[in-house]
Chains A and B, each alone.
Chain A
Amino acid sequence: MARFVLRRLALSLPLLFIVPFLTFVMVALAPGDAARTILGEDFTPAAYEALRHELGLDRPLLVRYGSWLADALQGDLGKSPITGLGVTDEIASRVWVTVSLVVATTLVAALIGIGLGVLSSIRQNRLARLVDVVSLVGFSLPSFWVGLVLVALFSVALGIFPATGYVPLDVSPNQWALALVLPVAALSFHALAAIAKQTRDAMLDVLSRDYITSLRAHGISERSIVLKHALRNAAIPVSTVVGLLFIGLLDGTVLVESVFAMPGLGGLVVDATFAHDMPVLQGVVVTFTLAVIVINLIVDIAYGWFNPKARLQ
């Protein structure tokens, strides 16, 4: 098991170096830079060169990457040339908003999606069709649009939930939960549909296996067959899908945090993009990449936990 996880980790750790490098290359290839952004329309060449030097933009690409990497490894992701704030602090102050959103969404999508998938695998016909419809609709509706519709319905028309904002958990758990309801609903729609469909397919596959017939022949109850044996076996492919969807949710937060004006990393990315604030973008990319590696690790551990063949290799 340990070897299995370590091997997977060895494959994904290079991402932490490759992804920021790719962004460095892209920024270098592209026309324009942060100095020009800061100076605006009118500037003298001398002032431009001076600012470039000050920001370190005149050094070769590999040198810049090397010095960024050396700092990053010590937890220093640099400083925003736009706001002057430290990127690490900025990210640290916003990361919990995004974590709340993504974790809550994953839990909601996994619980409802797996429940719906299991139900539709044992009661076929109508419910199975419902899962098909839900997954198609979930696939087609953009999360940001669903979010806006939810705002129109539940905030503007009915006034049940706040339309925007975020309240930290330690300030008021109640308001924290209330503020999360609509964003989580908007974001979980797609993931929920995908998980329901995947669970249904995996359950149907498992339920047609020989060992399920054998268990029935031993007189084991349907309850144990479905909830213990079939679900545990179906969990192997489903856990992989949940992991992939979690990675997709990181992208989703960029849009949904914008809709609900939440002060998370997604909102930070949008602001930084408008401001051409590369250090901040770079920092968020690293944070997200780190999150992806952690998720993959958790998925691998879950995979090994569910699947003795992988664990005991």
Chain B
Amino acid sequence: MTAAAETVDTVKRGRFLRSIVGRPLTIAILLYVVVVCLVAVFAPLLAPYDPTAPDLRNTMSGPSAAHWLGTDSLGRDLLSRLMFGARYTLLGSLQAVLTVLVVGVPIGLFAGYVGGWADRVTSWVIDILLAIPGLVMLLIVHTAFGGNQTAAMITLGILGAPGMARVVRGATLSVRNELYISAARVSGLTTGHVIVHHVLPRVIGPIIVRLSLFVGVALLVETGLGYLGFGAQPPTPSWGNMVGDASTAVALQPWMLVPSGAAIAVTILAFGLLGDSIRDATTERVRRPGRVARRPRTTGAATRGAGFTVAGPAEPAAGSLLRVSDLTVTVGDEEGNAVKVVEEVSLRIEPGETVGLVGESGCGKSITGKAILGLLPQGGEVTGGSVVFDGTDLTKLTAKQMRGMRGAEIALISQEPIASLDPVFTVGAQIGEVIRRHEKLSAKAVTARAIDLLTAVNLRDPEQVLKRYPHQLSGGMAQRVAIAMALAGRPRLLIADEPTTALDVTVQADILALLRTLQRDTGMAILLISHDWGVIADLCQRAYVMYAGHVVETARTLQLFDQPRHPYSLGLLECTPGRGEPGNLLPAIRGTVPDPKHWPHGCHFAPRCRLATQECATGPVPLFEPVSGHLSRCLHHDLMTREENVHA
């Protein structure tokens, strides 16, 4: 295990180094840093003049052939002074940086790895040190130690250590709980060994980032002290006292400010950029490609008891409320490429109807719902098809017209009820704002309407609820509040995106009952997005089954349950606990939903399908209509009528 852990570390480190070195800007910066350091070290060999030799006939000359960067008020060569000054300034900064490293890193490792009291005590000390006015403290040290810059720079390092310790502590905390660290500990390695060989390599990234930022701070402070006259004493040059020299000649030769200022700024900038690019490299290492699912969900999670009550049949009337035709949606991936996540999806909803949209996580259900409302995430785009609501194509509306539709005609409730409410405003403030957006009412009337709405969603004591903040509500209460806000504009269509997924089982039934009652009373249509067949069966007259961006089957709910005509629908139904047989393992569909970047060429479900033949992979599969109103995107839909074939 230890060997394995070490291999993991080495591999990660190797990739990390490659990702740093693979950037041209980073290479340029590293080159600059190396050159500056070399110049400082070899200044006596490289400098064209003696940095302290005055030439009173040639003072404040400005750049010339003899003096590339000009001369100062005593006629000393500025280039030579800059080269020699780098020694003093960089050495001072190095002292502070080393102190931060030596003091900050062990404290952070200790606090993060040991935890408990050690963590609390160090956190408190860190808080105290962070509140000390640093520069004044440095000046006191400088005074107390008789103008010794090393003492001042070490103090700067001590004052900077808490920041480093905090970063290391955070990184260590997150590494400490990883499996391979626990394994190394259990296998009897000493704490010291584990920290040095397993923890340290993983937190080295944040350390380098913090350090390179601190180099900037150290340079600023060192040159600041030098400027004030507390660093290198004349005639010894430092970048800071060169700015000080220049300040006395601002009126006569402002050019003198340029060489020292530019050297300071470019060097600080270089270390800042270096820190940024190392941070980018480390975060890239952590970020995983592909779409990240919000919450892990199992196929057909067991949420409802056995035995479904299928909603009574209701024949769809003519004149659809919503008709989505051939809708195609792309989203941007990390590299900014457009990735198709919904492909030629068509669905319709009649007035007052409840329609289900069912499928596993990551198959495009929520994106379809958001696309109808024009609320795709950053980088998302409808690239084809239409969304016709009551005769209006929503994809052709301006942003302002679309905003007019939202809430007033089509409303949304989402799956994380508490997260869907603004945490810093009270329920009353939020619901009030939504009410005022729909109708002009007096303050008193707004409150009355808010209380009406909260009463309509069966919240007890609505006056009290108005005064609460979202974090003071239970999940069920928050979802009722969210539903009340959705109802405020008296919409004709409600898109309910997994409205019960995040709730306790007992609360789920209440919310579903509430939705059914509200629909009966208001006559609004509902598009219910869910992965849960129980919820679909409970509420929906018809349902669409989605898989990997496609609608693969649609029918009346009753038909879907009795006679599914797509192997995916059947698979989903089979892994619903209500259908299982006592004593047998609950079946699961093997494999996972493919990443949108890697959809198969033919039938998207083919790789996971027990009925798949070569034919399935050759090209896109159209929708078949074996029975009127029952569509299936399966070449073998006819086989599905004899279920035993599927089980073979």
Contacts and interface: CB of A to CB of B under 8 A. Distances in A.
Contacts of B25: none
B390 interface: no
B137 A219 contact: no
Nearest to A19: B132
B224 A219 contact: no
B420 A31 contact: no
A22 B159 CA distance: 13
Interface stretch (A45-53, A70-78, A105-113, A210-218): A210-218
A160 interface: no
Nearest to B416: A210
Interface in B116-137: 124, 127-128, 130-137
A125 to B, nearest CB: 12
Interface stretch (A60-68, A86-94, A304-312): A304-312
B423 A211 contact: yes
A237 to B, nearest CB: 13
B133 A289 contact: yes
A226 interface: no
Contacts of A151: 250
Interface string A234-259: 00100000001001001100110011
B373 A217 contact: yes
B133 A250 contact: yes
B254 A217 contact: no
A221 B434 CA distance: 10
B472 interface: yes
Interface stretch (A166-174, A176-184, A268-276): A268-276
Contact of A140 (B229, B272, B375, B469): B272
A233 B224 contact: no
A251 B131 contact: no
A210 B419 contact: yes
Contacts of A312: 469, 472
B605 interface: no
Given A152-B257, A220-B437, A210 B420 contact: yes
A218 B145 contact: no
B214 to A, nearest CB: 12
B339 interface: no
Contacts of B433: 220, 224
Interface string A139-150: 111101100110
B631 interface: no
Given A140-B266, A149-B261, A214 B420 contact: yes
Interface string B481-498: 010011011000000000
Interface string A1-25: 0000000000110110011001100
Contacts of A136: 269, 272-273
B424 A306 contact: yes
B414 A213 contact: yes
A32 interface: yes
Contact of A31 (B146, B257, B423, B438): B146
B220 A247 contact: no
A142 to B, nearest CB: 5
A36 to B, nearest CB: 10
Contacts of B216: 139-140
A296 interface: yes
A257 B472 CA distance: 49
A140 B268 CA distance: 5
A152 B488 contact: no
Nearest to A209: B419
A145 B419 contact: no
B636 interface: no
Interface residues of B, number: 77
Given A144-B224, A273-B143, A218 B128 contact: no
A18 B131 CA distance: 11
B246 interface: yes
Contacts of B434: 218-220
A32 B146 contact: yes
**Which residue of B124, B136, B144, B486 has the most chain A CB atoms within 10 A of its CB atom?**
B136
Chain A binding surface, main DSSP class: helix
B264 interface: yes
B70 to A, nearest CB: 15
Contacts of A163: 250
B558 to A, nearest CB: 31
B224 A142 contact: yes
A288 interface: yes
Given A139-B272, A251-B135, A218 B489 contact: yes
A218 B437 contact: yes
A285 B424 CA distance: 38
B423 A308 contact: yes
A251 B423 contact: no
A142 B218 CA distance: 11
Contact of B136 (A145, A217, A285): A285
B247 interface: yes
Nearest to A151: B250
A296 to B, nearest CB: 7
Nearest to A276: B143
Interface string B222-258: 0110011110000000000001001100110010010
B73 to A, nearest CB: 15
B187 interface: no
Given A145-B264, A288-B136, A307 B486 contact: no
Contacts of B228: 254-255, 258, 270, 273
Nearest to A254: B135
A158 interface: no
B403 interface: yes
Contacts of A18: 128
B406 A219 contact: yes
Contact of A30 (B124, B146, B272): B146
Contact of A218 (B130, B406, B471): B406
A247 B131 contact: yes
Given A140-B272, A292-B131, A211 B422 contact: yes
A9 to B, nearest CB: 12
B103 to A, nearest CB: 15
Nearest to A12: B131
B378 interface: yes
A26 to B, nearest CB: 5
Q: Which of A149, A213, A284 neighbours the largest number of chain B CB atoms within 10 Å of its CB?
A: A213
A289 B129 CA distance: 11
Q: Can you list the 8 inter-chain pairs with the closest CB atoms, starting with the nearest? A: A30-B144, A219-B407, A217-B412, A251-B135, A140-B269, A288-B133, A219-B406, A152-B254
30 contacts: A11-B124, A26-B140, A30-B143, A31-B146, A32-B146, A136-B269, A136-B272, A136-B273, A139-B269, A140-B269, A145-B227, A148-B247, A156-B254, A208-B378, A213-B375, A216-B406, A219-B405, A219-B437, A220-B434, A229-B422, A251-B133, A251-B134, A251-B135, A255-B224, A259-B247, A270-B139, A282-B140, A306-B424, A312-B469, A312-B472
Given A30-B145, A281-B143, A292-B131, 10 more contacts: A19-B137, A29-B144, A145-B243, A211-B420, A218-B486, A219-B407, A229-B424, A254-B228, A270-B228, A308-B469
